[in-house]
Structure 1
Amino acid sequence: MTAFLDQFWQDVAGWLFLLEVVVTVGTLLSVLHLKREPMSAIAWSLAVILLPLVGPLMFFVFGYQTISRPIRRKQHRRKKYLSLAADVPAEAKTGEGAPGPRAVPRRWEVLAKLAHHPEGFPVTAGNRVELYHLGETAYAAMLAAIAEAKHHVHIEFFIFRPDESGRRFVAALTLAARRGVEVRFLYDSVGSHSTSQRLFKAIVAAGGKVSGFLPLLNPVYRFRVNLRNHRKILVVDGRVGFTGGLNIGDEYVGKVPQFGHWRDTHLRVEGPAVESLQRVFLEDWHFATEEAARGPAYYPVHLPHPGTSLVQIVHSGPDAEHKAVRESYFAGILRGRKRVWIASPYYVPDAGVRDALVLAGRAGVDVRLLCLFRPDHWVAFLAARYYWPELLAAGVKVYQYARGMMHSKYLLVDGEWASVGSANLDNRSLLLNYEANALIYDAKVVAELEAEFLNDLEWSVRIDPEVFAARPAAARLAENAARLLSPIL
């Protein structure tokens, strides 16, 4: 080998140089073709040029967002599934004999229209909403719903841990499958990478079905770590639905010392809004498995209207033409006249959302942002700190939750409107991930969320603009470096 290199090292070096040039130029062309945002295109171009071979590899793994074979495939599957699901009886959608939908208050009509785009869902009336602010109470409610299932259980989570909490859900799903309930379980292949297929054997042996979403090591999907399914959905018998910020794992019930107390927000909904959650799940399931589950058994006729809340499910992903979750956040912030309160562990949004918050702060709206004190992802945390000064300068109050892990994801506006779900206020949730939120047009439900928000502030540290401005130069440098990765955070 040494003799070969001594004789042909110049040829080897020449071929390697040529390979580097071809890879760099090819990657730059891909960057220019795929990246619409100028800053994102510039950042990736610099990475490709300044980091030979490493930069192109990073772009191959992290850079693809909206144009790729998996996304085109999912768009095709969505159209196919919607055509297959079109045979659901019309009365199953609203409930035969159900009261007509109550009108959305005029000031929120714009938000309702934005969320009800061609791929979206309408506002539904007659829903009952129950909020959970701790993982254990939410888990108990979900496990109870699974135990009462009569026809089907559809469950979808980004993270599913092989720990005590995960085993509790596996046991509940296995028992449901054994008594003849249809069980469909979808997990994200990256979020649940630590979970072995052995954990799910009992479910499958009992007749349930389990599938991963966009397997990372499948070459068909180009080894993408982006484009993840970040949704958290549970639907039982088409009548009861759950969604929010909780995944399944011991940390979400405060049993992992690294995180300590875990603060999250999840909700249970009964009523017509469950149909929308059902459709989101079944579309994802069809993409992952090619099974098109459809029919009135999944969309019950005579669906009860047990409450008075107006609820609208909004979902988005890189395959969607409308970035509906981002649009609802953006428009919701701009509709605020008195207060805009936000809880999100990660704050790395695009320029438009940042501008909306800054303008609201300058206009005298009471804008408050509640985020982490002890981060679990340091790069995202440092990138968020880079953007805090513009918020503080505009009069926005920034708080860090110091009791433990703050994982809630919600937006509250003027005590009348709320968005609760899986989407963080960062580019990954708003542009890259598959997300699902519930928009709530109900002052009573919003009041409960506001009360919890104020309680969380009692456990939080408010950022002092002057003190923060005096932070060390090393911290500023780290923040500046982290924000360069903001397009994928």
Structure 2
Amino acid sequence: MVEPRHAQGAAVDNFFADHPVAVIFSVLAVVHALTIVLGVPWVVFVKKESQATVAWVFTITFLPLLGILLFTLFGYNYVYRPIKRRRRLQVGRSRWQYSLPEHLRRGQHRERTFDTWNHLGKLAVKLGSFPVSAGNRVQLYHETARAFADMFQAMEQAERHIHLEYFIVRADRTGSRLLELLTRKARAGVEVRLLYDAVGSLSLHTSFIRPLRQAGGHCVPFLTINPLRRRMQVNLRNHRKITVIDGRVAFTGGINIGDEYLGRDPHFGYWRDELLRLEGPAVACLQMVFAEDWEFASGEVLRSAAYFPPLEPAGDALVQIVDSGPDQTKNANRDLIFAAITLARRRVWIATPYFVPDAGLQDALRLAARLGADVRILLPSIADHWLAYFARQTYVDELLDEGVQFYEYLPGMMHSKMMLVDDAWGYVGSVNLDNRSLRLNFEVNCVLHSAAELAELQSAFENDFAKSKQIDPTTFRQRPFATRLAAQVARLFAPLL
């Protein structure tokens, strides 16, 4: 005899009432299964690197809902960036290209050719970067106090516009001094544009920049964290550091805007960083990088002659501006660094505050050392990001056996991002040797091709090594078990570091 439908419903209600825990676990099991069935294929389809894929599959399997949320925020590295995507698909035809002199346009292979070491200049062009530019004057800064002083003085002398693009702008003494200067220049009729990263400058409140806006200046965050906006992306950040003044003078390197970069933070103490000042035709390339990022963030197009004035030769330096980011099919800076290391025969010197290289870069460093090159990596002895600090230890451990030498800078925080290969090629810029810089962030390097600037870079390295302690392999491997365990756990997060 079939029970009435209302009796069956009552039985189900009674079961739910009598077994609430079982019902909850059943629902969770179904959700867990659906998360794996839907989430894992999504990860496998989206992620290209096997290490990152395994890490995310592991996370979603054991932390289903949290794993999907984390992957959406940090793992799904998609940016809706139609401006740059269209530009890269239409190299040579984009309206942006014609803001630059013909010999400085991206992807142009018909421009006059410069004899760069192992043709790395041409390789950078094939990767989508600007061509090598002659007739530039480069001034390297190894002390942040002097770098800030000269940069602020150059902004004081601005007559038409000041463009700044920074990952971090602090609302501290240094940031206040900058805002006061920019506000004063804006009131005097100078066009002021400040582009800051929404995550790196998260503490920069509206009240702090309000005076500059009231004076007529423009302040725009890059990729704001807003779940209601299509462009929301926590993981992809603008790590560039650029200042352009009147389209004729530019600064770039590793320095952000904040007190710690002047050695005023007691935790870090002395701050070692590298910055360069650029005058000459290559300034237009840094101006282009800023203009592209500014249009993406604000919608305002900067392409008139006022922003790209004719630039006469200012010196003898050959330089090349190489920008990179997650909007590229192949990361230009990562591939260029890889090529330089594999071509090295005498030396590879690298300064980076974060060392979490991918497998290819590890192999390149290992190969260079085996071939007899003097391979040295300069690292900070102070940790400012503990996860990256512990993760790097596993890479150091592996490469010490291959003859790679590691040095820890002792006077304070080492934040320089620079590289020298065979005294013939080098760079100063914003790129760290980690997954974040080489795959996730928007970055920019100034590659140096001339002997005078490379010789000065070599002297800077030698001075830094003299103030550093070389890591001894035997002592390093005697670290406590807890430290070695923490390093292995931290390495699991390498795709995010």
Q: TM-score, with normalisation over the residues of structure 2? A: 0.91
Distance verdict in 2 for CA 1:79–1:293, change over 3 Å: farther
Is residue 75 from structure 1 mapped to residue 85 from structure 2 by the alignment?
Answer: yes
Is residue 263 from structure 1 mapped to residue 272 from structure 2 by the alignment?
Answer: yes
Opposite residue 475 of structure 2, the aligned amino acid is: V
Measured after TM superposition, the shift of residue 156 of structure 1 is 0.2
Is residue 220 from structure 1 mapped to residue 225 from structure 2 by the alignment?
Answer: no
CA displacement 1:34-74 (0-9 Å, x = unmatched): 11112221121111112232222222222122xx2535675
CA displacement 1:351-370 (0-9 Å, x = unmatched): 11111111111111011100
Aligned to 2:291: 282
Distance verdict in 2 for CA 1:162–1:185, change over 3 Å: same
- Indicate which of 411, 421, 425 corresponds to 1:403: 411
Measured after TM superposition, the shift of residue 217 of structure 1 is 2.7
Opposite residue 132 of structure 1, the aligned amino acid is: Y
- Indicate which of 359, 365, 368 corresponds to 2:373: 365
Distance verdict in 2 for CA 1:33–1:89, change over 3 Å: closer
Distance verdict in 2 for CA 1:419–1:45, change over 3 Å: same
Is residue 103 from structure 1 mapped to residue 114 from structure 2 by the alignment?
Answer: yes
Whether the 8 Å contact between 1:136 and 1:253 is mirrored in structure 2 is yes
RMSD: 2.3
- Superposition map of 1:114-193 within 5 A: 114-117=123-126, 119-193=128-202
The secondary structure found in structure 2 opposite 1:70 is coil
Measured after TM superposition, the shift of residue 18 of structure 1 is 2.2
- What is the alpha-carbon distance in structure 2 between the residues aligned to residue 128 and residue 164 of structure 1? 31
Opposite residue 469 of structure 2, the aligned amino acid is: V
Measured after TM superposition, the shift of residue 86 of structure 1 is 4.3
The secondary structure found in structure 1 opposite 2:243 is strand
Distance verdict in 2 for CA 1:240–1:222, change over 3 Å: closer
The secondary structure found in structure 2 opposite 1:53 is helix
- Indicate which of 448, 459, 475 corresponds to 2:456: 448
- What is the alpha-carbon distance in structure 2 between the residues aligned to residue 405 and residue 89 of structure 1? 38
- Indicate which of 31, 41, 44 corresponds to 1:32: 44
Aligned to 1:85: 96
- Indicate which of 459, 462, 466 corresponds to 1:458: 466
The secondary structure found in structure 1 opposite 2:64 is coil
Distance verdict in 2 for CA 1:7–1:352, change over 3 Å: closer
The secondary structure found in structure 1 opposite 2:168 is coil
- Indicate which of 400, 404, 423 corresponds to 2:431: 423
CA displacement 1:95-116 (0-9 Å, x = unmatched): xxxxx967223x331x112211
- What is the alpha-carbon distance in structure 2 between the residues aligned to residue 71 and residue 24 of structure 1? 30
CA displacement 1:242-286 (0-9 Å, x = unmatched): 100000000000001011000000000000111110110000001
The secondary structure found in structure 2 opposite 1:220 is coil
Measured after TM superposition, the shift of residue 325 of structure 1 is 0.6
Paired residues in the alignment total 477
Aligned to 1:236: 245
- What is the alpha-carbon distance in structure 2 between the residues aligned to residue 381 and residue 89 of structure 1? 41
- What is the alpha-carbon distance in structure 2 between the residues aligned to residue 415 and residue 5 of structure 1? 77
- What is the alpha-carbon distance in structure 1 between the residues aligned to residue 81 and residue 37 of structure 2? 24
Measured after TM superposition, the shift of residue 76 of structure 1 is 4.7
- What is the alpha-carbon distance in structure 2 between the residues aligned to residue 104 and residue 335 of structure 1? 16
The secondary structure found in structure 1 opposite 2:126 is coil
> Which structure has the bigger radius of gyration?
2
Opposite residue 250 of structure 1, the aligned amino acid is: D
Whether the 8 Å contact between 1:62 and 1:226 is mirrored in structure 2 is yes
Whether the 8 Å contact between 2:103 and 2:131 is mirrored in structure 1 is no
Runs of 5+ unmatched residues, structure 1:
95-99
Distance verdict in 2 for CA 1:54–1:73, change over 3 Å: farther
Runs of 5+ unmatched residues, structure 2:
1-15, 106-110
Aligned to 2:12: none
Measured after TM superposition, the shift of residue 92 of structure 1 is 9.8
- Indicate which of 381, 385, 389 corresponds to 2:397: 389
- Indicate which of 67, 71, 87 corresponds to 1:59: 71
Whether the 8 Å contact between 1:427 and 1:488 is mirrored in structure 2 is yes
Measured after TM superposition, the shift of residue 224 of structure 1 is 2.8
Distance verdict in 2 for CA 1:78–1:229, change over 3 Å: farther
- What is the alpha-carbon distance in structure 1 between the residues aligned to residue 49 and residue 101 of structure 2? 42
- What is the alpha-carbon distance in structure 1 between the residues aligned to residue 259 and residue 41 of structure 2? 45
Structure 1 range deviating more: 350-359 or 456-465 = 456-465
Aligned to 1:97: none
The secondary structure found in structure 2 opposite 1:375 is coil
Aligned to 2:213: 204
The secondary structure found in structure 2 opposite 1:277 is helix
Aligned to 1:483: 491
- What is the alpha-carbon distance in structure 1 between the residues aligned to residue 244 and residue 33 of structure 2? 51
Task: Report percent identity of matched pairs.
Answer: 47
Aligned to 2:257: 248
